[in-house]
Structure 1
Amino acid sequence: MKAQLKETDTVQGSKRKKLVPLLVGILLLCVLMLLPLFPALTITKAGTMHIALSLYKGERFSIRYIHSVNRSPVIDTLEWAGGSTLIVRESLFQTYGAGIPIDADLAGTKTNITQDGIVQSGINTKHSSISLITGTTSDHQLLYRDKAIRLKTLVGEQTSIKLSISRVSLLSLIHFKAPSYSLVQEEV
């Protein structure tokens, strides 16, 4: 009888020894899911995050919109430089208008005329965040990797939003990933 009890205790002890590492692993995974370890491009409205998109240092993305005065398309290209720094690298537009800088406004820039329009490169202005108001006419879109995310569909029209780099958790990257295809269209 004592031998049977000893054998049962040994089997239960063995199961516990196997269970402890499993529970520790699950606990560590949960902690890692919640720690803000991953850099992401975030879009916030009144301090509430609406999207978090993973980025690697040096990765570029663009904001495409219709200029409110001359009603022509503009694409501003930005790059994540590490830390919280976003750098405006270039702007593609069709015609000059109010708010479109000219070479004299930004020392060191170059202007080239291409089949796509006028490209102003070498802008290289640094920002910790980009604030904008989603317009009815401007139709702001975030061009991220191979997607165009329509911002007014994401947060509403005439809404003040902020684009910035934040460290987020893996859970946030999963929850606030690129929106469903009702908000996303293939970039052309």
Structure 2
Amino acid sequence: MISALIVLVLAACPVDTLAVRGFKKGDIRHVSRVSNGEPIVFSYIHSVSKTPIEETLEVSNGKIRLVKVSYTDQGGAGMPEFEWGSEKFKIEGGKFVLEGFQREFKSMNITVQRAYDDRLEIGDEAIELIQIAREGENIRVSVERTMLAAYLFEEIASGLKANI
């Protein structure tokens, strides 16, 4: 009886997750448990300059905050090259780095393209977006607060889906 009560209480505990959902139907494609302040790296190949971009994000009170952008070539392709407000621009390890952003988002919409090598990294976990979405498909990435039981169910369900 007591152990069943403990399981019920734990299952009802809220947890924050980074959820990747199909844009049209909202179906879960991937879910990872995250905590406030946890870094997330979104990396991809720039569509014009064809060079790698890394956007460092972090979980911020139920939102996604852009913290830093690093890239190897400006290539005249609209990449930032100067400081604005609290942002700081520097060259580090052969890359252009812009940090100090104060931009928060409820969600990020991404059109998945194999050629752009879209990828999310959360700690040691790497998510190749082309493995969970079709070429040209739009997905939405957001921080969601859910009950522990729902998180565990979604994690199991997304892990059981075959590659699309």
Q: Give the TM bin, normalised by the shorter chain.
A: 0.7 to 0.9
Within the candidate set 109, 120, 138, 2:87 is matched to 109
| Cα 1:100/1:36, change in 2 over 3 Å | farther
Structure 1 or 2: larger strand share? Answer: 2
Which structure carries more helix by proportion?
Answer: 1
Residue identity opposite 1:71 in structure 2: K
1:36–1:167 contact (8 Å) kept in structure 2:
no
Match of 1:148 in 2: 126
Moved over 6 A (4+): none
Residue 43 (structure 1) aligns with: 20
Residue 52 (str. 1) matches residue 23 (str. 2): no
Number of paired residues?
A: 157
d(CA) in 1 for partners of 2:42, 2:159: 16
Cα deviations across residues 142-166 of structure 1 (Å, max 9, x unaligned)?
0110122100111222110111111
Q: Which runs of 5+ in 1 are unaligned?
A: 1-21, 184-188
Counterpart mapping for 1:1-188 below 5 A: 22=1, 25-26=3-4, 29-30=7-8, 32-33=10-11, 35=12, 37-45=14-22, 46=24, 47-82=26-61, 84-96=62-74, 97-103=76-82, 106-177=84-155
CA–CA separation in structure 2 for the residues paired with 1:76 and 1:87: 10
TM-score (norm 2): 0.83
Q: TM-score, normalised by structure 1?
A: 0.73
Question: Equivalent residue for 1:16?
Answer: none
Where do 5+ consecutive residues of structure 2 fail to align? Answer: none
Query: Structure 1 residues 68 and 55 mapped into 2: Cα distance closer, same or farther (>3 Å)?
Result: same
CA gap 1:114/1:152 in 2 versus in 1, 3 angstroms: same
Pair member with larger Rg: 1
**Whole-angstrom distance in 1 between the partners of 2:135 and 2:149:** 28
> Distance in 2 between the 1:116 and 1:54 partners?
33
RCO greater where, 1 or 2, for CA within 8 Å and sep 6 or more?
A: 2
Q: Give the alignment's Cα RMSD to 1 decimal.
A: 2.5
1:39–1:168 CA contact under 8 A, matched in 2: yes
Deviation at 1:25, TM superposition (A): 4.1
* Alpha-carbon displacement from aligned partner over 1:65-116 (angstroms, at most 9, x marks no partner): 011111100000001111x221100001011143423325x42211111115
